Chain A
Amino acid sequence: MDLLEYQGKQLFARHGLNVSDGKPVITVEDAVEAAAEVGYPVVVKAQVLIGGRGKAGGVKLAADEDELREHAGNILGMDIKGHTVRTLWIEHASDIASEYYASVLLDRSAKRPLVMFSVEGGVDIEEVAEKTPEKLIRHHVDPLTGLTHAEALRVASEGGADADVVEGVADALIALYEVWLQEDATLAEINPLIVTPEREVKALDSKISLDGNALYRHPENQGLSDRENEDPLERRAKEEGVQYVRLDGDIGILGNGAGLVMSTLDVVSQAGGAPANFLDAGGGSNAETIKQAVDLILANEAVKAVLVNIFAGITRCDQVALGLIGAFEQLGVGGKSIPFVVRLDGTNDVEGRRLLAEAALPNVHTAKTMNEAAEKVVALAAGQSVEAGAP
């Protein structure tokens, strides 16, 4: 779960990191009030979960109320790469002497937390890592002891922080590590971490990803992220506890098991089709979850055909068949004239296929293998007819 800048900064402040005074607002009038409170000059920053805000005109400096009204009015409602700006962060503008970079992340390969620091902040850090790797200090932390003060000092000084702020940078690194640890983050990043002319070390931006599996121990974080810009279908799926990701194509996909569903998307693409979604009905899906999944897939109006690809282990194919029959009867799927291709394999597959054959659902085709199913559904989505296939 990715946080907006201001949400991240609020977590930073909670763990003792310096951030500028600021307020999130959703109207120009509130922006004016916030600016008066934090004091001009202020920075007006669009709150969206996408990079390149500045280039898109989503970050502006305002010296007075007139400028603030102009910028806030322009940025609110702005579209930045498909994300509509609904919230602004108004903060007191900082004077900048240096721009550094700091982050803590879960290094999957080393299976340890990784602290990174560079004095080349304010730019794309992947580029720094690639072109001048010596300027990016990487330090693995023992998660059982945590980041010690001595380690943090070493990272700051080896990274080339100005001598008079090594202590301040080390404190910031420790606070950032605490954010990462205490909030169950997988990534906590500050870019830039600035040094002011007064030699204060401060987080000017924030990028935080929280572990969705750990939200149960952070009820206060549960409402975060960019709810308004979330895809409505993905949000609905989340509420229903279904693993669903919306994609750009027109072929709805329903499968069981994350790996098999990913594989199904690939096979459909290889057959020349474009999947409309990822949907994992889960290992133990029953008739009800299948019906719910069909409902969700068809709620995407781009869907022209649906592929149901089941390799049943714990799942039972007869339950899947009953779920499909239920979806057609109760959700009126048959009336939408959207063709389905169904491949049932594994536990109780014979029974599942028999149930489907008996129900004789309109526009439902069967396939024996995943590849055959993919080819059929691609043809159907393109408006071609295919052989129904013997169930």
Chain B
Amino acid sequence: MSVLVDERTRLAVAGITGREGSFHTLNNRSYGTNVVGGVTPGKGGQDVEGIPVFDSWEQAMAESQPNTAMIFVPPRFAADSILEAAAAGVELVIAITEGIPAHDELRVYNTIKRDHPGTRLVGPNCPGILSPGKANVGIIPASFFKAGNVGVVSRSGTLTYQIGNEIAQAGFGCSTIVGIGGDPVPGSSFVDILELFEADEETELVVLSGEIGGSAEEEAAEYIAENMSKPVVAYIAGFTAPAGKQMGHAGAIVSGSAGTAAAKAQALEAKGVRVGRTPTEAAKIAVEVLGGASLSTS
């Protein structure tokens, strides 16, 4: 088991004919992901290294039945592409695109909720989802991870690689790594993914990597206390971030006194979640909880 992507994934990619889109699609395919199509309006009938390209999501659905969509189109077209994939009945839409206007994200989130309740959106502005040994959808470098029983959910890409790699070096692997993205209105929040990990038989422990801005970590803390039987280890980035400054991610901003790293770490610790002060410490705690302290190199 694992969550969201695996051997049953049938992936189609919006923006497959672009430079980045084709590069990562082919990367995903060589990892073993079943890529069944691409969508680029006006380029239907072409193919990318044998992957058929369709003009629309509706057509892609009729011809090759994808159950997963990856969105790689520029920000101004991304909202429509996500909604088109949802309308065509794709169950899981993973939006990699960075820079989508927040109002578009609001419209997308609420439209999916109202009109396409069977579709789950992950992202935008996320690195994608990797289930080691099964499927990789997105831009996560698979070589840093191996299969195992740690679930990872994170708002940041490179930070996930850092933590995942340290866990791998200690001899542990991951069930699934889910990047939920750094934007203010993510399609899936920590709570949505924690719920999946809690239900996943393979996952024994979850590493949650959060950052400043919003209140998703605080909501996760509540959820963990009330609904999770599995241990969760957390890391929060941005203790030194000044208020009012956007730190790279559109959603990473302390507004007034709200959304600070300290408040998030406190909220998690108050609910019994251990929070590492550094990525290394978070990985160490995870390894210790898994009973692998003896494998640690330090």
Contacts and interface: CB of A to CB of B under 8 A. Distances in A.
Interface of A: 106, 108-109, 111-113, 126, 142-144, 181, 184, 186, 211-214, 216-217, 243, 245, 247, 255-263, 265-270, 275, 278, 280, 283, 311-314, 345-347, 369-371
Given A211-B102, A214-B103, A313-B139, A144 B240 contact: no
Contact of A245 (B159, B242, B257): B242
A263 B103 contact: no
Given A259-B211, A270-B278, A245 B247 contact: yes
B157 interface: yes
B298 to A, nearest CB: 10
12 contacts: A108-B185, A112-B110, A143-B103, A214-B103, A256-B158, A257-B159, A258-B182, A259-B156, A262-B238, A313-B141, A314-B139, A314-B141
A313 B102 CA distance: 27
B103 A243 contact: no
- Taking each of B99, B104, B238, B250, which has the highest tally of chain A beta carbons within 10 Å of its own beta carbon? B238
A280 B248 contact: yes
Contacts of B280: 369-371
B140 interface: yes
A109 B215 contact: yes
Contacts of A370: 162, 278-280
Contacts of A213: 75, 99-102, 250
B165 A258 contact: no
A152 to B, nearest CB: 19
Contacts of A345: 162, 165
Contacts of B59: none
B111 interface: yes
Contact of B110 (A144, A267, A269): A144
Contact of A261 (B101, B248, B278): B248
A313 B138 CA distance: 12
Given A111-B106, A216-B76, A346-B141, A263 B101 contact: no
A112 B219 CA distance: 16
Interface in B176-223: 182, 184-185, 209, 211-216, 219
Interface in B38-73: none
Contacts of B250: 211-213
A137 B240 CA distance: 33
Contacts of B209: 259
Interface residues of B, number: 63
Q: Enumerate the 10 nearest inter-chain pairs by beta-carbon distance, A residue then B residue, closest first.
A: A259-B156, A258-B248, A257-B158, A259-B159, A214-B101, A260-B158, A262-B237, A313-B141, A108-B214, A280-B248
A369 to B, nearest CB: 7
B9 to A, nearest CB: 21
Contacts of B141: 312-314, 346-347
A144 B162 contact: no
A144 B107 contact: yes
Contacts of B114: 144
Nearest to B101: A214
A259 B215 contact: no
Nearest to B106: A143
B94 to A, nearest CB: 16
Contact of B157 (A143, A266, A268, A313): A313
Interface string B233-259: 001011111100111111110001100
Given A258-B249, A260-B162, A313-B161, 13 more contacts: A142-B110, A214-B104, A245-B247, A258-B182, A259-B249, A260-B158, A262-B212, A262-B240, A266-B238, A269-B240, A311-B158, A313-B158, A346-B161
A345 B237 CA distance: 19
A278 B247 contact: yes
B144 A214 contact: no
Contacts of A112: 106, 110
A181 B185 CA distance: 16
Given A262-B237, A266-B240, A106 B106 contact: yes
Contacts of B111: 144
Contacts of B102: 106, 184, 186, 211, 213-214
Contact of B154 (A184, A243, A259): A259
A108 B239 contact: no
Interface string B111-130: 10010000000000001000
B150 to A, nearest CB: 18
A313 B140 contact: yes
A265 B158 contact: no
Given A186-B102, A266-B239, A143 B182 contact: no
A370 B277 CA distance: 13
Given A112-B106, A112-B110, A346-B141, A262 B101 contact: no
A311 B110 contact: no
B109 interface: yes
A256 B139 CA distance: 14
Given A262-B241, A266-B278, A186 B184 contact: yes
Nearest to A255: B158
Nearest to B104: A214
A154 to B, nearest CB: 21
B146 interface: no
Contacts of B235: 263
B264 interface: no
B134 interface: no
A283 B107 CA distance: 27
Contacts of B103: 106, 143, 181, 184, 211, 214
B278 A262 contact: no
Given A266-B240, A275-B240, A143 B110 contact: yes
Nearest to A51: B256
B101 A211 contact: yes
A86 to B, nearest CB: 20
B158 A108 contact: no
Contacts of A108: 184-185, 213-216, 251
A24 B22 CA distance: 50
A263 B106 contact: no
B70 to A, nearest CB: 15
A213 B240 CA distance: 25
Interface in B250-291: 250-252, 256-257, 261, 277-280
